[in-house]
């Protein structure tokens, strides 16, 4: 039952994505970043991750203005215990510098983005 509720919540979050999440998804979707397959609003355990590349065990979070640092730290530790790295970007980072955001994501995945992708 809890899994079903989490999946329903993830689907609702996909429909109600913030502008910043939509901007980041536009950069990551359809394997646009060096062929890396990202999924969005992915249920994982008790959490819903903004973006995940399973092949590189990489979670990317778009942190809006209302994030609880203690909760995020607990969540990040939970993910790290399962072999995931977490990159967090503020809304300002995402809106202000696509180049830096994509470069950090690519670097964490061990790939180098082509100039045309940035």
- pLDDT at residue 52 is higher than 70: yes
Nearest residue to 39 (alpha-carbon basis) of 57, 64, 66: 57
**The token pair that represents 59 in the structure block:** 């979670």
Output the pTM of the full model: 0.85
**The token pair that represents 111 in the structure block:** 């790939």
In this prediction, residue 110 carries a pLDDT of 92
Mean pLDDT of the chain: 87
Domains and CATH numbers, the chain: 2-111 (3.40.960.10)
């Amino acid at each position: 039952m809890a899994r079903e509720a989490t999946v329903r919540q993830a689907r609702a979050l996909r429909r109600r994505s913030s502008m910043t999440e939509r901007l980041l998804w536009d950069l990551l979707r359809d394997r646009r970043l060096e062929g890396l397959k990202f999924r969005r609003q992915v249920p994982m355990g008790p959490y819903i991750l903004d973006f995940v590349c399973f092949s590189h065990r990489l979670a990317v979070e778009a942190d809006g203005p209302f994030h609880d640092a203690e909760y995020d730290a607990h969540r990040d530790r939970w993910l790290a215990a399962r072999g995931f790295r977490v990159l967090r970007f503020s809304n300002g980072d995402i809106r202000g510098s696509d180049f830096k955001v994509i470069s950090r994501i690519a670097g964490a995945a061990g790939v180098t983005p082509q100039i045309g992708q940035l």
